[in-house]
Structure formats: C-alpha cells, structure tokens
Structure 1
Amino acid sequence: MRKFLYFLETIDLMRMVLGICILVDGYPLIFFFRETLKLAPGSTVFTAAVFAVGLILMVPFTVLRRLYRPNMTMFWMGLGFITLCIAYMFTYLGDPGFRDYDKDMIYYAYALIFLFLLINIPNDIARVFILVVVLFTFVSNLGLIYSLITNPSWAIGQRATITLGDNDDGSGNPHVFSRNAFMGVVACAIWLIRSDTNILLRIFALFAGVINLAVLVLTQTRSSILALIIAITLFLAFNVRPPQIRAVVRGIFRPVTLGVVALGVVGIALFLRRYYDVYAVLYGYVLGFAERNLDNIYALVGAKAQGAAYKATLDDSAANRSVSALFFSNVVTGHIHMLILGFGYKYLYLDVPVLESLTNMGILGFFLFGGVNAMCLYYALGIMRTNPNQLSVFLAYFYMLIMVAAFTGGRPNEISFWIPLALMTRFMGIEHLFPEYLQEHRHIVYAPAVPATSPTN
C-alpha cells in the first residue's frame, strides 16, 4: 500500500513538472501542433490556451493551504520589475504608436500566475524534475525532426526551425528549439554523471543527449552554443580536480577501457562510412557557423575576410547590436540625465536586454532586472560547487543560457525571461530549506573515485 501511494505521489509530481515544462519550454511543441499538424496555424489563442493548460497542470491539491518559501530577495525584485513595467506602460510610454496593452498584460499575468503557483508547489518535484525534462525535450526534438522531414521548403543548410505561416516564405524561431535542446543537454548530462542512474536510463540519456546536441548545431544559434561552452567550462572548473584527472588517465590505459575505445572507434568509422552524408551535413553546419561568426569579427575590425574584392559585413543581429551600442554611447555622452527615469516603456529595441532595461526603464529598472540576474548567477556558481540536488543543478546550468540571452537578444520585459527567472526565484538560493531526503549531492559522482590512503604513523 505504501509503494502504491508513493507511485501516485510520483505521478502527481510529474504532472506539476509537466505544467512547468509547458510554460518554460512549450513553444517547440506548440509550433509543432499549431503549424506542422495544422491544428491552428498562426493562432495566438491556441498558444495562450496551451499555456493555460500548463498552469492548470501545475495546480497542486494543497493550493492555498501550503505555501513554500521562495528566494525572497529575488521574489520582491522580480515582482518590482514587473510592477514597474506595468506602471510605465500606462503612464510613461516611450513608443507613441504602442497599442498592445492587452497583449502585454496577458504576458505579465501568465508570469505572475506562474510564480504564484510555484510558491504552492512542493520541493519534492526535485526527485522527478530531470526525468520529465529529459522526456519533454526529447519529444519536442522529435516534433522538430518530423517537421523538417515533411517540410518541402526546408533544405539542408538552413537553420532548423518550424516554419510559421502558410507559404514557403514563412519565418520561424530557431531560438526556442535551441533552448529546448540546451535544456535537454543539461538534463541528460545530469542523468549520465550520476552514479546511481540505471544503465537503461543512462543509455537513453546518451541517445537523447546526442539528438539534443545535433539539434543545437542545426539551429545555428550563437547564444546557445556560447552558453553550452560556458556551462562545460564551469562544470570542469568546479567538479574536476587533479586527483580525479590522474584517476581517469590511469583508467584509460586499462585493457578493458582500451578495448572499449577500440570498438568505439571502429563503430564510428563504420557509421561514417555508411552514413557519410550525416557527417557531411553536421560538418557543413559547424563550418558555416564558424565562417559566419568570423565574418562578424572581420567586419568589426574592418578587415577583409576573403581577398581584396570582398569586404566582410555584419549580419542583421550583430549590426543591430552595433547600432544599439552607438545609441547608448550617444546617450551617455549627451543625454545621460535621461537614464534616471529612462526613455519610457518600449522606447527602443536594443537587442541587449540589460542595456535596454537601463535606457527604457531607467536606473530602477536596471537595478531590478540586473539585480535578479546577478543573484541568479551568484547562486548558480554556488550550486555548481556543492551540487545539492538535481533540480538546483539543472537550474544553475540552465541559467547560463538566460545569462547569455540577457546580453545578446530579446527585451527585458519578455515572458521568455520572466518564466525561467520565476522558476529560479522559487528554487535557487533556498537549497538549505529542502528536506534531507532531497539532498542528493552524496550520490553525484563526476569522475572515478580516488581510493583513500590510510594515514601513516
């Protein structure tokens, strides 16, 4: 009977985590059902309805009867920024043609309801969180792959995304798919490095992780690639020590390890020989990605990338940020007093959210938006050092993507920021409040253990 009740509790926790995933990472599946399966092409009502379903799934049976403490400093700062945005929207507009009051209020309502429901959700979701994220991101990737295969207008070399619109010229948003892939990579890695992960689950995590990496390459989004590099660097810095490196090196030269490596090399060689086109496609994407970024670097320094007759140019995204930097420089040198209150709600799209929070929302907006992000980074680094539980570890590395986005794309008042930040507000910096049975750092092994040596007299 006790096992059956534990099973029901697990299913209930998974239901709530599924609702969280829909709010944080629901766009890939929404686009799949909306555009690929043609259930509601171009419908924002369908998107809002799916998000509403996610909120309903999050409602615990103890709603309003049991509340859980979030990170209170981040909570009040985040709530303050959203309140400031709403106040500016109705009293201090920077865009004279702004008419999207209802649309923006719906976004803020979703963010606030999401945060309220998170306060009602128990900390016990930590034990099923990674499982649901791995499955959710895997299914989302399958939806993208199916869409690419069945889309006659998509060709190898284009960015992987689901086309929005009914014609071949429809646009897509590869960033939502790269976020999904990044989340999947982090979740799969957590499963793989845990010493107590079942071997079948570990094999599935490896398979799903490879698919996530492939999708990350196919989407060709610089922010996700940079975030992944930062996450890997921080993981190695915090979790790999010289004794562990020596233990790994010793383990590599064991006969069994050498045999497995040899079999792996042979298997990869046979795979590439049989499916060389797959290798060629991924190689082409990586090479094209590198060339495009080098072209931006050449353009910034005024160099010529390909001979005397060719002059490198910035792509649209980099060019927009260059213009934003010039605008901010002009403000600082000639109109610095405008930064006290800012230029008004949505005055100018800078494509650098941290910078836009200052120019549009003033010093207070910059303090609140930048403060929440700074605290997330502070707690993320602490979590990476201690590895207290699966949920906290996932959020710490997931924040690397949000951190990069805060400097490279979007607007500070967008739901794409405040839904993840609300999740981090609820669970980051409060690991000490988790019950003992959720403290799993003792189960996480990142490298072969180094045998202890007995002290000598």
Structure 2
Amino acid sequence: MNRKSIGIALVLSGSPIIYFFRDGLGLSPEYFFFTGTFMFLFLLFLLSKDIMLNLKIQKPNMVLFYLTCFYWLIVTNYFLLSDYPDKNKDIFYFLYLLTYFLLLLFVRDEEVKFIYISFLLSTFLSNFIFIYFFKTLFTSITFREIGSRAYIGQEKGNPNLYANIAYYGIIASLFTLKKAYKQMYKILAFINIPLSLLVILLTQNRTVLIVLLIVVICFIVKEILHILTSFKVKKIDLFKIIKIFAIFIFFFLLIFVIIPQDILSIYFSNYSIYLEGLLLNLSGKVGDQSSIQRIDAFNMIINELKTVPENYLLGMGYKYEWLDIPFLQAFRDLGFLGGFVFLIFHAIVVSYVIRYLFLKRNIDLNFISLLLLLYILIFFNCMAHGQPYDLSHWLLLITIVRFLKLPKNGKVN
C-alpha cells in the first residue's frame, strides 16, 4: 500500500466520507464547492515528484482508450449544444474525470499491487461513519417512499451511493482475507464484511444485493466444481469446501444477530412489496413505482422507434430526459452512434470479465480482478440506475481503461 493506491481508493470509494462531513456533521450542507475541494484533495495523493521529473506515461488499454475518447467527444459536442441548470457542475465533473485519468497515466502497475488494503481502509471508514451517523447523530430517520432507506442528506441524499461503496468494501475485504499477510488487516476485513452488509440492508439497494449474491454464488460454485472435477480430491480440498460453506453461513447468521428484528421485518416486507409490484407491472397492472418507471421508459422507446425513428439517428440531446436506464438513455440522448459506442465499450469489458473471472481455472487476485469484480456492479447499474455520464460510473471505467490488459500471450490459462 502506498500513497497513490490510497488516492485511487479514495477517488473511487471515498465520497461517503465527504458527505458525512458536509451533510452529516453539517459543516457545509449541500454546498458543491465543499464537495469539489475534497474531491481534488483526493487527487493530491496521486501527485509525486516522478510526474515532474520523469514524464513516463504508462500505456492504457488502447482499444478501450480510443472508444472512451470517441464516446466523450460525442458527449462533449452534445453537452456544448445543451442548455439546462447546473451546467457548470457538469463542467467540473468533466475536468475532474480528465484530471484523474491523466494522473493515472503516471501510476505504475507495481504501485497498485496492494491496493485492496487501501480499498479496505477507505470502505471501512465510509461504512463506519455511515452507521455511526444513524446510531448517534441522527435520531429521526426520514422515510423515503416505500420503506425506510437510510442515507445522509435528508431528501437529497443518495442511498445508492453508500450501498455501492459497501459492495466495494465486501470485495476488498475478501481480497484482504485471501492475500494479506498482516493479521491486523484480516481482522479489519472480517469486521468490514458484516459492516458492509449492514449498510446495504439499511440503504435497501436491491441491485447491489442481487449482484452480491450472484458474485458470491458464482464463485462458490466455480470453486466447488474446480475441486470436484480435479483428478484427485484431497483432504485439504474437502476442508476448503466445508470452510467456504461455513463462512457463508456464518455471515448469513451474523446479519440476523447484529440487525434488530424490527429493521429486518421492514426490510423483508419491502422486498415482498417490491416483488409483488414488479409482477403486477409485468402483467400490465400498476405495482411498484420503481420498476414501473423503467418499464414505462422501455415501452416509450419502443413506441418512439415505431413512430419517430429518425430521432434516434442523431439523438435528442445531452441529458434530454432521465430514464434511469443508462444503456437506453445513451441511444436516446446521443443517437445511434453514441449509444453504440457506449454499448461496445461495455461489451468489451464484459468479455474481459468472462475471460478473467469465469474462464480461468485459477483466478489471479490482482488489481485487474478487483476492478472487474467492481465493474460487475457498474454493469448492472447501467441497466437499472443513473445516466450514461455519471461520474461514479466513469471514475471506475477509466481506471479500468488505464489498467486492464490481457496477459502478454493474449491467452487465458
């Protein structure tokens, strides 16, 4: 772990720390200048004398790099033609994204070798102060639509942000438990996993929970199949299977121990309401508002393609309408070319996910694997949350552009 790895971890997972100080402690509620100042302080960790003395740029993934440049060239052109409130805020985000990527070009691969420790510390702090806020500072949690979703910042808070960072925390903790040499880090990781699960449950982010279950189940099945299909099953392999199930059951039971029963009952009640509402929406009736919004957006695009398909040749403009489905909004806002480039970019990254995480017999627990595991959440979010320009998405995506490379022989072992 070094200063640059800490900087990357803070940029990608340190935003809850900013909002805790800004809105939780009330130092500067909803003041964007406060947020922007903190964000650039994170970037200072990436600065070093090497940048000034030795301008040696590290080569990114060139295919993804060209696609990213082409995509943001399209976005910038549409952005310049747009007119909407808070345009200056987006200018800041563009500059921040560009500055972060330029600094990444001077980060050597060996400098992020132990970055999972940096992610562990950053996410642990984010999770801890989030729960501390509700335990000691915030006595009356506001209820938001269906169920009580915990977040900082009153009605302008974003519970999805804290859930996403908690997911990062679980992935970083698993890497630490597997790779770290110092017992102190392993103990911290063991604490951070239930802490992250608690944040996900409090924020009631269904996408994060589903993605987490998919990832955990896939790797448990992959590990068991790998052991069982070996030519000879050793005692140590059988112990490994038992250990995997034991850890999984332990954390499952721990959730029910550390979370009050009234919160659990509310949580599962909300999930049953959501599932019932989703089934009603799919059958043509009115149910859950969250899912019906996305179904309506999908149906609207189908109708527009039938009636005014020419609108999708050039698109309707930057942030024309919030659909909460980035993949669809990219086509609607930026036209066929912009949407196609956005889709191809993600398709290529997904191919890396399949090759690195699912086709390889033995997964290398390196920075690339960590990034791809984090990306899985971004991919699902692009079908259910946000916009195709979101800074929280693209900070991770351009980190992937910088570090994602196939083995030199181009093959997956």
Q: Give the structure-2-normalised TM-score.
A: 0.86
1:285 to 1:228, Cα distance in 2 relative to 1, 3 A: farther
Post-superposition offset of 1:234: 3.4
After the TM superposition, which residues 2-401 of structure 1 pair with which residues of structure 2 at under 5 Å, given as runs? 10=1, 14-63=2-51, 65-91=55-81, 93=82, 98-149=84-135, 150-154=137-141, 158-164=148-154, 170-194=155-179, 197-244=181-228, 250-251=238-239, 278-281=259-262, 283-302=264-283, 313-315=287-289, 317-384=290-357, 385=360, 386-401=362-377
The amino acid of 1:313's aligned partner reads: G
Residue aligning to 1:5: none
1:191 to 1:116, Cα distance in 2 relative to 1, 3 A: same
Aligned partners of 1:366, 1:193: CA distance in 2, in Å? 39
What is the alpha-carbon root mean square deviation over aligned residues? 3.0
CA contact (8 A) 2:278 2:292 kept: no
Structure 2 unpaired stretches of 5+:
none
Aligned partners of 1:431, 1:153: CA distance in 2, in Å? 53
Percent of aligned positions that are identical:
23
Post-superposition offset of 1:29: 0.5
Aligned partners of 2:241, 2:293: CA distance in 1, in Å? 51
Aligned partners of 1:74, 1:126: CA distance in 2, in Å? 20
Aligned partners of 1:413, 1:277: CA distance in 2, in Å? 37
CA contact (8 A) 1:60 1:120 kept: no
CA contact (8 A) 2:175 2:365 kept: no
Aligned partners of 1:252, 1:18: CA distance in 2, in Å? 32
Aligned partners of 1:142, 1:431: CA distance in 2, in Å? 38
Greater Rg over alpha carbons, structure: 1
Aligned partners of 2:268, 2:212: CA distance in 1, in Å? 18
Post-superposition offset of 1:319: 2.3
Post-superposition offset of 1:240: 3.5
CA contact (8 A) 2:274 2:288 kept: no
Post-superposition offset of 1:363: 1.4
The amino acid of 1:314's aligned partner reads: D
Residue aligning to 1:422: 398
Post-superposition offset of 1:287: 1.2
Aligned partners of 2:70, 2:241: CA distance in 1, in Å? 57
Post-superposition offset of 1:285: 4.7
Q: Which stretch shows the higher mean deviation, 57-66 or 121-130?
A: 57-66
The amino acid of 1:135's aligned partner reads: L
CA contact (8 A) 1:69 1:119 kept: yes
Post-superposition offset of 1:312: 6.0
Post-superposition offset of 1:180: 1.0
1:331 to 1:141, Cα distance in 2 relative to 1, 3 A: same
For 2:318, what is the secondary structure of its paired residue?
coil
Residue aligning to 2:383: 407
Deviations 1:257-278 (A, max 9, x none): 9xxx7xx99xx99x99xx9683
Aligned partners of 2:307, 2:47: CA distance in 1, in Å? 51
Q: Give the structure-1-normalised TM-score.
A: 0.78
Aligned length: 394
Post-superposition offset of 1:159: 1.5
1:432 to 1:59, Cα distance in 2 relative to 1, 3 A: farther
Q: Which stretch shows the higher mean deviation, 202-211 or 275-284?
A: 275-284
Q: Which stretch shows the higher mean deviation, 242-251 or 384-393?
A: 242-251
1:238 to 1:337, Cα distance in 2 relative to 1, 3 A: farther
CA contact (8 A) 2:13 2:119 kept: no
Aligned partners of 1:26, 1:88: CA distance in 2, in Å? 30
Structure 1 runs of 4+ aligned residues shifted over 6 Å read: none
Post-superposition offset of 1:241: 2.3
CA contact (8 A) 2:227 2:237 kept: no
Deviations 1:299-320 (A, max 9, x none): 22449xxxxxxx86222x2222
